[in-house]
């Protein structure tokens, strides 16, 4: 039976992402500075470089892609939980090119903001920690 | 004039989706068990099979697609309301393949989780019920 | 150092989007009527016409696309803040066609709802205002 833990909203932030900075590191550093242990977030905007990946469920390994240029962030949704005692971001991103064509996947670092607006919601409750999951080969909540 | 009802957040859940289970049924069953009548949710992760559809607005019918393999869930956003006295999920999904190429549409059942993380927010207020809408041919809130 | 302002949730709305109406204008008019100064929202559904754009970061100009037909709104995420003293929507949209193929970008007006469900969350706190940003050529929060 499913037993998802319950969380209360603590602080909700809405703000502008810093230009030319990496999305993952920006959010992880913000959470460290603000002592945020758990959160969810959503952001839209544009990137000058994007890196995302695909997980091969049979080989149990990620392939990642990286491309430079003007791309709209059509959606980027993710969460912050704990890995090895630090805030860790798990997010997926979709971008659109100059013809509106979309691509996306698991967000990797080296994804650089051109302009962006984030909503980040701090959550209070049982702290989810990522551990190696043998069946999937991923670091999952236990 | 638009008159959208107002809701208060009750319980917020954040948790891991069960491997090899259908997304729609997992969420509907969770809501039945927890007596959740209205909710919104968002999830990211990966599926081993995905089923989604397209609604032809002139013919007033859905076409659905199903494909097996490793796919990232780039985004899956939806809500829970009431249909015939039971919790009913309406969600849309976008997936990415091994080259980052994205496809998506209206989420159908027989979409099987490989790994996933859901945020589900229970809402309290006027219960939205789905009824047949003649103009669109869809089951909409009244 | 990043210093994103903190917001409290005031009213949360969940409702049906009006058929054949433009998404941007519908949300902006609702916010004017309800005296909402800041908000975030998410919507899914279908459109009979969609208009979205791409920002060229070097030329500092938008190109926009518009197409009519049945399209699923796979995701539309955005926020409401203030521009010249009025509620202003910034949103990105992704749509899927009859084969599940997705395209998307920055949401422009003249995007007409066929059917849709929106969750809109009013936020209370420092009011974000959009101003011309010389470095990007965009109207950004200061």
**Residues B88-141 pLDDT 10s:** 999 999 999 999 999 999 999 999 999 999 999 999 999 999 999 999 999 999
Question: How many DSSP H helices and E strands does chain B contain?
Answer: 1, 8
Instruction: For A90-104, write each residue's pLDDT tens digit.
Output: 999 999 999 999 999
In angstroms, rounded to a whole number, what is the distance separating the alpha carbons of residues C8 and C21?
A: 30
Instruction: For B22-71, write each residue's pLDDT tens digit.
Output: 999 999 999 999 999 999 999 999 999 999 999 999 999 999 999 999 99
φ/ψ region of A34 (left if φ > 0, alpha if ψ in -120 to 50, else beta) reads: alpha
In angstroms, rounded to a whole number, what is the distance separating the alpha carbons of residues B37 and B62?
A: 26
Q: Which one of A41, A96, A99 would you mutate to disrupt binding with C, by most C Cβ within 10 Å of its Cβ?
A: A96
In angstroms, rounded to a whole number, what is the distance separating the alpha carbons of residues B128 and A61?
A: 43
Residue A108 lies in a domain: yes
- Identify whether the C-beta of residue A60 lies closer than 8 Å to the C-beta of residue A133: no
CB-side neighbour CA atoms (13 Å) of A27? 36
Q: Is the pLDDT of residue B1 over 90?
A: no
User: CB distance from B13 to chain A under 8 Å?
Assistant: yes
Q: Which helix (H) or strand (E) holds A24?
A: helix A23-33
Q: How far is B106 from chain C (nearest CA, A)?
A: 7
For CA atoms A97, A100, A105, A108, give the dihedral sign.
Answer: positive
Confirm whether the ipTM is greater than 0.90: yes
Q: Which helix (H) or strand (E) holds B45?
A: strand B39-56
Interface of C with A in 113-142 (CB under 8 A): 123, 125, 128, 133, 135-136, 138, 140-141
Secondary structure (3-state) at A66: strand
Q: Which residue in A7, A56, A63 is closest to B12 by CB distance? A: A7
Q: Is the pLDDT of residue A18 over 90?
A: yes
Residue A26 lies in a domain: yes
pLDDT bucket at A1, cuts 50 / 70 / 90: confident
pLDDT score at C1: 83
In angstroms, rounded to a whole number, what is the distance separating the alpha carbons of residues C118 and B110?
A: 25
Closest chain B residue to C26, measured at CA: B2
Residue A140 lies in a domain: no
Look over chain B and give the mean of its residue pLDDT values, rounded to a whole number: 97
Residue C59 lies in a domain: yes
Residue A101 lies in a domain: yes
In angstroms, rounded to a whole number, what is the distance separating the alpha carbons of residues A62 and A56?
A: 6
Q: How far is C47 from chain B (nearest CA, A)?
A: 9
Residue A29 lies in a domain: yes
Q: Is the pLDDT of residue B19 over 90?
A: yes
- Identify whether the C-beta of residue C138 lies closer than 8 Å to the C-beta of residue C62: no
Strands C102-107 and A112-124: unpaired
Q: What are the structure tokens assigned to C142, written together?
A: 């200061």
Range of the domain at C123: 11-141
Residue C35 lies in a domain: yes
Kindly determine whether residue A11 and residue C9, on different chains, have CB atoms separated by under 8 Å.
no
- Looking at chain C, the whole-number percentage of residues with pLDDT higher than 70 is 100
Q: How far is C73 from chain A (nearest CA, A)?
A: 12
Indicate which CATH number applies to the domain containing A27: 3.30.1330.80
Instruction: For C72-94, write each residue's pLDDT tens digit.
Output: 999 999 999 999 999 999 999 99
Kindly determine whether residue C102 and residue B103, on different chains, have CB atoms separated by under 8 Å.
yes
Mean pLDDT of C114-135: 98
Q: Provide the number of structural domains found in chain B.
A: 1
- Identify whether the C-beta of residue C65 lies closer than 8 Å to the C-beta of residue A35: no
Residue A4 lies in a domain: no
In angstroms, rounded to a whole number, what is the distance separating the alpha carbons of residues B31 and B91?
A: 15
Contacts of B9 (CB under 8 A, 6+ apart): A9, B121, B122, B123, B124, C9, C12
pLDDT score at C69: 97
Look over chain A and give the mean of its residue pLDDT values, rounded to a whole number: 97
Mean pLDDT of A13-34: 98
Look over chain C and give the mean of its residue pLDDT values, rounded to a whole number: 97
- Name the burial class of residue C29, with classes exposed (0-12), middle (13-18) and buried (19+) by CB atoms within 10 angstroms of its CB: middle
């Amino acid at each position: 039976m499913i037993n998802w833990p319950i969380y209360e909203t603590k602080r909700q932030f809405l703000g502008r992402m810093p230009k030319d900075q990496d999305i993952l590191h920006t959010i992880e550093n913000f959470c460290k500075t603000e002592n945020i242990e758990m959160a969810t977030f959503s952001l839209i905007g544009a990137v000058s470089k994007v890196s995302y990946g695909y997980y091969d469920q049979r080989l149990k390994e990620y392939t990642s892609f990286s491309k430079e240029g003007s791309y709209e962030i059509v959606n980027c949704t993710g969460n912050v939980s704990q890995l090895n005692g630090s805030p860790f971001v798990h997010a997926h991103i979709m971008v659109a090119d100059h013809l509106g064509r979309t691509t996306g996947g698991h967000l990797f670092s080296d994804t650089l903001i051109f302009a962006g607006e984030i909503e980040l919601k701090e959550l209070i409750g049982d702290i989810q920690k990522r551990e190696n999951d043998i069946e999937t080969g991923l670091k999952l909540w236990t």
